[in-house]
Chains A and B, each alone.
Chain A
């Protein structure tokens, strides 16, 4: 029974964090927000140079061969720094999808190599959402049609691009025609791929929400120490302290839930769905409270475009309902607890692994 991460995983996280701290500082994010595409190709390619895009690509295809557990750390960094990029969708969720394909699928390894090198941008359209993030920049799209997985070049789709409350996000309504030549998996195999893809997407959202929550907490703590009212720092007032302590509590309790979900996903635990949804719910609660209390502690400043809090707050609101919305994830947990005949004895927490 061991919740610890390997040295490699921790060092990698540390390196990525140091890198993003300078390369993706809030001023830089604001610049990217102003661009038409909401994306910065240089940032993507420098993240690839750091090895992020290679993280979960199998070693045989030139990657680092780490898995969901490593991503549970990395997605927190992507969230913490509010990275305006769909890197996790490509390098984690998309890479996972390609890896799950049969070896007879033409071009599979080329795609994996291109993801690894940071050369491929892709977008994923899953039936859990009517919107496809980043379709406007994707070279290819992975699209769901029932149980079928289609790999569709961007030229073959029509899209209507929408903007999000998060200025870096672009979400498309995509129209396309499924054709036999774009179908790369179907039937049971296809259904399984979509199922796992949804879980990877949700885990990625959970990790990012947790990172965002931590960032909002840190910003709020800093602000509460600097801002003075009635002659002292507002952070010395108990009502403010208790808001922040409650956010810290939500973050702490969410962490092991996230890590357990990652471990279950990586090891095909029979209850992976429940564990992933649980993680999403805990991380989502942490982010929601961090945003609410963070804004309250910033006072009217918190309601402005000017303070950095807004970028992280809006990101957390925006991604909260992607890769399965709150109703979906709450319902998955509730169904298990209320409607299955599962034995919920105290000894069952780690059973079935």
Chain B
């Protein structure tokens, strides 16, 4: 056990730190849940890519730097530590990208990964359907093979940022009459294809954060299928594992708000200490975020030496989503009467940061597979309890 960085890792950190210090926009970018904000984020992603930092752990040929996962954790620590903008294309880069690297054909990797790394293509996830939420195997959207094309019909929902994205990926029923997780195929669909209609859904904050996608005889070439015909479930489970596990939620994503939370507490100590449980909660947030980081380094070590993560990614998901709630609830408790303010007024920059975070934290136990479902997975697959 040696919990120190190598000189190479340290110099990588410094290099990233310097670049970020010089390049992170001084003014906070507007939310990417608006058209204008989304495009400003795309600009930032391009800049990141030009400097070689958009997907540090991808192979060089696909627009990455060939770093290992420890370097990625270091990169993330610096990225969040510098207060850099949220990553607008993470569904593509982190979830689909990882899936393509594992299951994609050489042609698919060459076609999709470089454009994803540069954010020339932005991606949306299209799993959920009106009757397939937690019960994802209940998918009824169809993709019927017709020569060298699939013909798609049906509806997806809750697809984050689909109204601004260029592509979507998800599961479709490709075998007529098949049931549950059999007969599904994993497809990538251009959202400007004929027959695709996208209808925005306003999220809690009133922004068009997610959308419904309707497919009306949409033609998609067979080459856009990842994995074998009818075997999409297996591929999708790997993608879901990336989403619940580390890739989507690196520890720094929570350590940075905790650092701000401690500052918020220190700045409001006299008033916060009227309730001693606030200090307790702040310290717990720090401790939990740090434990999550330790656990990430531990997991990455195991991954680097060839292990696979299984149901642990479900434990991860429950942990980070509950931590995110605690961080933001604690901040709201410290802010007290001003916590409800939107960013528009005179007071409200810091308040809005916490309020937005608070709102989004409410969704954590629901998306990426609800926490109830994650607990079932842990109980059945890790502890061996009967179904």
Contacts and interface: CB of A to CB of B under 8 A. Distances in A.
Interface of A: 1-5, 69, 217, 221, 224-225, 232-233, 235-236, 238, 240-242, 244-246, 248-249, 252-257, 259-260, 262-264, 278, 281-282, 330, 333-334, 337-338, 344-347, 349-350, 353
Q: What size tier do the contact residues of chain B reach?
A: 35 or more
B3 A3 contact: yes
Interface of B: 1-6, 9, 13, 70, 74, 76-78, 80-81, 251-252, 255-256, 258-259, 262, 265-266, 269, 279-280, 282-283, 286-288, 290-295, 297-298, 301, 305, 312, 315, 318-319, 372, 374-376, 378-380, 382-387
Query: Which of A257, A282, A337, A350 has most B Cβ within 10 Å?
Result: A337
Given A233-B386, A235-B385, A344-B259, A245 B378 contact: yes
Chain A interface mostly helix, strand, loop or mixed? Answer: helix
A248 B383 contact: yes
A344 B80 CA distance: 12
B291 to A, nearest CB: 5
A353 B315 contact: no
Given A4-B1, A252-B295, A338-B262, 20 more contacts: A3-B298, A4-B305, A224-B385, A241-B375, A242-B375, A245-B376, A249-B378, A255-B298, A257-B290, A257-B294, A259-B1, A259-B298, A263-B1, A278-B291, A337-B262, A338-B266, A344-B255, A346-B293, A347-B74, A347-B77
A260 B301 CA distance: 14
B5 A245 contact: no
Contacts of A238: 372, 376
Contacts of A217: 383
A233 B287 CA distance: 37
A120 B27 CA distance: 67
A353 B295 contact: no
Contacts of A249: 315, 318-319, 378
Contact of A1 (B5, B256, B258, B282): B5
A225 B386 contact: yes
Contacts of B374: 245
Given A244-B383, A338-B283, A256 B259 contact: no
A185 B38 CA distance: 66
A278 B287 contact: yes
A281 B77 contact: no
A3 B302 CA distance: 9
A243 B301 CA distance: 29
Contact of A347 (B3, B81, B292): B81
